[in-house]
Amino acid sequence: MPSATKTTPLGPVTITEEDGAIVGVEFSGGEETEIASPLLKKAFEELEEYFAGARRTFDLPLRPRGTPFQRAVWDALLEIPYGQTRSYKDIALAVGRPKAYRAVGMANNRNPISVFIPCHRVIGAGGQLVGYGGGLDKKRYLLDLEKKHLAE
């Protein structure tokens, strides 16, 4: 599976593709690598545009691996508008499992394609920032970035 690592405002990010789709985004500690694939090049270009405030949605083929429930949750995350947030309970309702907010939290935690599938837009019921695979500092950064660019 081709992958590449590039430094971003969140630190090093590694993006992996397989069979013409993005299958992974990781906050890594690795060194920058050559971007050999057109899809990975496009993914990093769109990520740079996002960080610059020039992009609010991504136009990439995504293929996250997970259970049917996890994929339903990740699809629901893609419906959260740029600059907005939803609670775990909101997502549970969106996937037709109103009492499964803890399972939604676990699915959110296992999102293999961070940022492109915006799990950072999911917050606790009281509006507090809870859980993010890359750390709450990265989640706060992404939410603040979107809020800032919405105001422009």
Tell me which residues are annotated as active site. Answer: 119
Q: Which residue's entry shows tokens 């629901």?
A: 76
Rounded Cα distance between 142 and 139, Å, is 5
Burial class (CB in 10 A: 0-12, 13-18, 19+), 8: middle
* Strand positions, DSSP E, 9-144: 11-18, 21-27, 86-87, 122-123
Question: Could you tell me the CA-to-CA distances from 109 to 12, 100, 147, 152 in Å, in that order?
Answer: 19, 14, 22, 31
Read off φ and ψ for residue 46, nearest 5 degrees. Answer: -65, -35
